[in-house]
Amino acid sequence: MEKQTEQEEAYTIAYIDFHKSWESTMNSLVQNLNVSKTSEEAAVIIRGTEEVENKMREFPFSLPEEQASNMRQLGDVLDEAKFKFTHIRKLEIAEQSKLLQAQVDAWGLPTKPLEAPFQVILSRKKGRKNSGDSDIDPKKAKKDDDIIPTQNKFAELTVSNSSSMDFTDPQEGTSATSGTPVVTAPQKKHHVPPITINNVSNQAALLKHLQGVTKLKLEAKLIGTKFRIYPQTPYAYTLIRRYIEENSLEGYTYMLPEDRKLRAVIRGLPIDMPPMEIISDLATQGYQIEECHNMVSRKTGAPMPLFMLSMERSEQHKSIFQNVTSIAFVKVIVEILRKKYGPPQCYRCQGFFHSSKFCTRTPRCVKCAGNHLAKECEKELNDKPKCCLCGGEHPANFLGCPKNLKLRIEAEKERKQQQKSARIVPVPEPPKTNYWEQRAKNATPRQQPPANTQPGPSTVPPPPIHKNNSQEDPTDIFAQLKNPAVQETFDLLEQFITIATTIPSKVGRLRAIRNLLADEIHF
């Protein structure tokens, strides 16, 4: 009887303790589920949720409605934990498969297994005789009966030129037999985005504290009042982000590359198409869609006949752009989500080149420049907006804002284009005086061609006729040969003949002719 009373008292105490800690237990499960990043953490939450469910069945609530409601809440948490565990575990397995494949490629293993495995045959080494074999003559030939017959199962394989098989020492990274370094496949380096923290009073102390939190050596850079930290691993990135959120620090960062989703846009569906129907129809086609919603016009706020999809970035999902042509018996076109015009702008702090999902800065309203979110703004429609960037009468996301980086980028492009065009050497203007006309004016009478001929590259001007002697006949050849100009021309021809017969190379002949005519042509 006393034992039964003690059991009832213990049951009552356990019942009261369970119901008192029910709310804190649920909050703890939900909080741990939200911050869990690995499959092991999700598995711990699943086991804890199942234990709580067993205790709830053991210590039920007094009201059936309350019991059913709490069981539904606990079931939702359990389902979410199982879904998160499955999703994270798939990513981990895929990453491990990539690492394993990289190791297999580094080892050079065949893709298909061998038909017969290797057999290790232990044989006695030649050399020093054992003590028990002192009576056996080593020089004595072995008999045929003593030879163990073996079968080579790999006789059909081709043998390479190398005489021995090299194996790689994993610690040294070199071949153990030849000593030559073995080239292994480089491991893929995961990019981890930097984390920028604003308004840090003591940067050195913060960096030292974060190194103690992550147990890693961190690199940082001071940019004005901003303190930019460069984590080395995704785990350090997660720890630093959690520290910033817990201590309410102002900063921003970017999404990890492995967490980025593949986004697509469906064109051609009616506006009233339920998103769940789109997800279920694509699931039958082999595509697991995580999110689907109807896109809204930014100017009018009205829904558009466009649906945006968000899914895991994989080769199977990338084929959605070519393979999916109809959804729910409606012909559609699946396109890649177009990038926004201009640099990305945060909806929280109105800063540029980051998103509001990873921003912990002080919020600034896009409409009235107040320190609150846009959904909390109480500005009337008739009131003029105010920009928190430049103070002008326009919203902070106005593309024509003087502080918008789009204008700065365009101005920088224009400046670079001007610098590039300035490097081009301008074409000089033609001279005012003609060199050849000036040369013709300064030419001597002997160099001046007669007026009735037009000298060309192949025409030779006739010798001038001197009229100082009236008795000479212009048609007399012998009288013309006595002309000094003709004799001078003959002398020049003799020099040409001498050059042509004495100098063997063509370059040498041309150089000699140029030197001969240099005084006459005035090069």
Tokens of 457: 């590259």
Please state, in angstroms and rounded to a whole number, the distance separating the CA atoms of residues 408 and 402: 9
pLDDT tens digit string along 69-103?
888 888 888 888 898 899 898 988 988 888 888 77
Statement: residue 191 has pLDDT above 60: yes
Please state, in angstroms and rounded to a whole number, the distance separating the CA atoms of residues 276 and 263: 17
Please state, in angstroms and rounded to a whole number, the distance separating the CA atoms of residues 306 and 317: 19
pLDDT value at residue 170 = 41
Angle at 399 (CA atoms; ends 396, 402), nearest 5 degrees: 75
Bridge partners (DSSP) listed for residue 219: 230
256 CA to centre of own chain: 12
pTM as predicted: 0.41
Statement: residue 257 has pLDDT above 90: no
Q: How many other C-beta atoms are found inside a 10 Å radius of the C-beta of residue 246?
A: 8
Q: Calculate the alpha carbon distances from 274 to 325, 327, 468, 480 in Å.
A: 18, 12, 116, 113
pLDDT value at residue 34 = 86
- pLDDT-derived band at 176 (thresholds 50, 70, 90) equals very low
Please give the average per-residue pLDDT across 290-310, as a whole number. 86
Statement: residue 48 has pLDDT above 80: yes
Please state, in angstroms and rounded to a whole number, the distance separating the CA atoms of residues 72 and 79: 10
Statement: residue 302 has pLDDT above 50: yes
Statement: residue 193 has pLDDT above 60: yes
Tokens of 264: 């697509």
Q: In 3D, which of 272, 286, 209 has the Cα closest to residue 244?
A: 209
Residue % of the chain over a pLDDT of 90: 6
- pLDDT-derived band at 441 (thresholds 50, 70, 90) equals confident
pLDDT tens digit string along 392-435?
888 888 878 888 877 777 778 888 888 777 766 666 777 777 77
Mean pLDDT over each residue of the chain, to the nearest integer: 76
Angle at 58 (CA atoms; ends 56, 63), nearest 5 degrees: 60
pLDDT tens digit string along 15-43?
888 888 888 888 888 888 888 888 888 89
Please give the average per-residue pLDDT across 257-285, as a whole number. 89
- 340 three-state secondary structure: coil
Angle at 165 (CA atoms; ends 163, 169), nearest 5 degrees: 140
Q: Convert 121-138 to b/e letters by CB count within 10 Å (16 or more is b).
A: eeeeeeeeeeeeeeeeee
User: Contact at 8 Å (CB) between 255 and 192?
Assistant: no
Tokens of 250: 């102002």
pLDDT tens digit string along 447-485?
655 555 554 444 455 555 544 444 445 556 767 777 888
Amino acid identity, position 36: S
Q: Calculate the alpha carbon distances from 418 to 78, 272, 413, 414, 477 in Å.
A: 63, 51, 9, 6, 71
Q: How many other C-beta atoms are found inside a 10 Å radius of the C-beta of residue 374?
A: 19
Helices of type H across 215-355:
234-246, 275-284, 315-318, 320-323
Amino acid identity, position 245: E
Statement: residue 153 has pLDDT above 70: no
pLDDT tens digit string along 328-356?
889 999 998 877 666 788 888 888 888 88
Beta-sheet strands, E only, within 143-288: 195-198, 219-223, 226-230, 251-252, 262-267
User: Contact at 8 Å (CB) between 262 and 313?
Assistant: yes
Strands 195-198 and 251-252: antiparallel
Please state, in angstroms and rounded to a whole number, the distance separating the CA atoms of residues 145 and 153: 23
Please state, in angstroms and rounded to a whole number, the distance separating the CA atoms of residues 356 and 252: 8
pLDDT value at residue 267 = 92
pLDDT tens digit string along 197-238?
888 888 888 888 888 888 888 888 888 888 898 988 888 888
Tokens of 74: 């606990």
- pLDDT-derived band at 382 (thresholds 50, 70, 90) equals confident
Please give the average per-residue pLDDT across 487-509, as a whole number. 84
5 or 190: which leads in pLDDT = 5
Tokens of 391: 């103070």
